[in-house]
Chain A
């Protein structure tokens, strides 16, 4: 089945630091999204990015579909960035469901 691996699994940052989260996937995808799961469990959609690069404030994401990976960049991290970051993919020909990555747990300390 589809493998969606994220690295690192855990990350601790000092406030103000930058970080890069990686998502590797094993099949061709027709959709890739990055989510932030807040401490209450709500998934917040950050980016819809099956290919290319997008930026939204301090966050940006890049997906290189041909090489089957995506990167999420967080700059000038804040304590409110803490939580778990998931990438999720949809696979050609398998319906409309997401397959979630293994997640990166981020803790930003003041």
Chain B
């Protein structure tokens, strides 16, 4: 199947700093990328949907100024957590989607990034 990578796999940063997480589709062009957040022992919560070249659509309750999402190309989306606080510590997962010729969409998930804010 298709491969989606995330970098870094884990990161520790100090409160007040910003951290960027990259999501890449390695062998396909992703028209849409999604960002999810997962708290320990909890489900995945959709944060935002981004389409290449346009602004991301954020889910209700997600601060767009805190979680900056950029989808600059068909293979790369970035999530920047700005002015990080300990409560932003979480597991962040991206997924990338493309449309097959048959018309159906396929979606693949990255391995996740564990963020710890001290």
Contacts and interface: CB of A to CB of B under 8 A. Distances in A.
A88 B43 CA distance: 10
Contacts of B97: 96
Contacts of A86: 43-44
Given A86-B43, A98-B46, A40 B111 contact: yes
A96 B93 contact: no
B105 A41 contact: no
A95 interface: yes
Given A96-B105, A97-B49, A98-B34, A42 B111 contact: yes
A92 B51 CA distance: 19
Nearest to B31: A96
A41 B93 contact: yes
Interface string A93-110: 001111111110100000
A41 B111 contact: yes
A43 B49 contact: no
Interface in A52-110: 86, 88, 95-103, 105
A35 B44 CA distance: 12
B32 interface: yes
Q: Which of A98, A99, A102 has the most CB of B within 10 A?
A: A98
Nearest to B105: A96
Nearest to A33: B107
A102 B107 contact: no
A43 B109 contact: yes
Interface in B28-60: 32, 34, 36, 38, 41-46, 49
Can you list the 8 inter-chain pairs with the closest CB atoms, starting with the nearest?
A41-B112, A43-B109, A100-B44, A100-B43, A42-B111, A103-B43, A96-B105, A102-B43
25 contacts: A40-B111, A41-B93, A41-B111, A41-B114, A42-B112, A43-B93, A45-B109, A88-B44, A95-B49, A96-B97, A96-B107, A97-B34, A97-B46, A97-B49, A98-B34, A98-B46, A98-B95, A98-B107, A99-B46, A100-B36, A100-B43, A100-B44, A100-B46, A101-B43, A102-B43
Interface of B: 1, 32, 34, 36, 38, 41-46, 49, 91, 93, 95, 97, 105, 107, 109, 111-112, 114
